[in-house]
């Protein structure tokens, strides 16, 4: 309808239909953003613009998910290595120190979402006063449930932590 001022006014449900928008935009230059929005609304998801916006968002979500899993697995491994070293140096007998260190590391990892079969505890050093004893704890983090990340990493991300402490020079023989 003509309202007398030279403008066409639309009443009813057909005022916002795509055909009326196209008719109204014929004389105007369509901006790239408007063109992009029209493509998204019409379902043209193979467009370059759609891909350049969606792919980075998906990659960011995957990166956040990966970082969340890996970061949450770092603290238990450092704690296990520290407990292992403290347990190992608390005895001046090598076999007892190794057993205590290994048990302390495994006890420290209890209650975490870690595959216990992939845990390795390596203890090295000489059991003489003031010598360094090194405990290294290794395990794999399962990332099979993260698409794209699992293909890049083979489904597992290896983690390791190493702590070195010195045997105390003046230990009592309390074993």
DSSP 91: -
Q: Is 11 contained in some domain?
A: no
Instruction: Characterize the bridge pairing of strands 120-125 and 156-166.
Output: unpaired
Walking along the chain (175 residues) 10 residues at a time, the average pLDDT comes out as: 50 48 51 68 62 80 78 85 91 88 92 83 89 93 75 81 86 54
pLDDT at 12: 46
Alpha helices in the chain (DSSP H): 18-25, 32-42, 48-88, 94-109, 149-153
Pairing of strands 120-125, 132-142: antiparallel
Residue 143 within any structural domain of the chain: yes
Residue 12 lies in a domain: no
Residue 126 lies in a domain: yes
Looking at residue 63, its pLDDT comes to 80
Q: Identify the pLDDT of residue 46.
A: 61
Q: Could you tell me if residue 133 is inside a domain?
A: yes
Number of domains observed in the structure of the chain: 1
Please check whether residue 137 lies inside any domain of the structure.
yes
Supply the pLDDT for residue 14: 46
Alpha-carbon distance of 156 to 43, in angstroms, equals: 37
Instruction: List the domain range (segments joined by +) for residue 77.
Output: 48-166
Residue 11's pLDDT is: 47
Closest CA to 106 of 72, 144, 135: 135
Task: Report yes or no on 146 lying in a domain.
Answer: yes
What pLDDT score was predicted for residue 51? Answer: 73
């Amino acid at each position: 309808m003509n309202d007398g001022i030279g403008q066409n006014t639309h009443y009813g449900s057909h005022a916002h239909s795509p055909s009326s928008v196209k008719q109204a935009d014929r004389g105007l230059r369509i901006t790239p953003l408007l063109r992009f929005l029209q493509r998204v609304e019409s379902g043209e998801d193979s467009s370059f613009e759609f891909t350049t916006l969606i792919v980075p968002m998906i990659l960011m979500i995957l990166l956040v998910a990966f970082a969340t899993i890996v970061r949450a697995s770092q603290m238990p491994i450092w704690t296990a290595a520290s407990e292992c070293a403290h347990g190992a140096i608390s005895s001046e007998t090598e076999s007892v120190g190794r057993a205590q260190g290994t048990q302390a590391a495994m006890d420290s990892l209890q209650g975490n979402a870690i595959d216990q079969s992939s845990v390795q505890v390596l203890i090295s050093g000489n059991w003489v006063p003031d010598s360094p004893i090194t405990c290294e704890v290794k395990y794999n983090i399962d990332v099979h449930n993260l698409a794209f990340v699992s293909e890049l990493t083979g489904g597992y991300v290896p983690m390791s932590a190493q702590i070195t402490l010195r045997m105390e020079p003046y230990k009592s023989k309390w074993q």
